[in-house]
Amino acid sequence: MTPVFAAAGAIYLFLCYVWLLSAITASELSRSKGYGEKVGLGTGLILTFLGPLIWLAIPPKDENAEWHERKPWQRRQKPRETEMSGDAAAGGTHTAISK
């Protein structure tokens, strides 16, 4: 009887997606709490299921963190014209290549 490795491949692909999704979630949580994306990405990659849960328990770094204004499950709003400064307010989307 020969083993069927193709059946296990679908399970491993699903587990890979879960692993990457936990890394993305932990990264977004740590960024919104003011710690940066890299710290959350490392936590999410090493501690697959525990990474996002850990970042839900860690308090925000300071009072100016995005976590106080917008929770992760809320959508981000585009900045208004009055909130923008410089070329972005004038409608210019110049890049280093187009200048």
Summarised one tens digit per residue, pLDDT across range 75-85 is: 666 666 666 66
C-beta separation of 25 from 47 below 8 A: no
pLDDT band at 27 (very low <50, low <70, confident <90, very high): very high
Largest CA distance in the chain: 71
Average pLDDT across the chain, whole number: 79
Element (H, E) at 38: helix 37-46
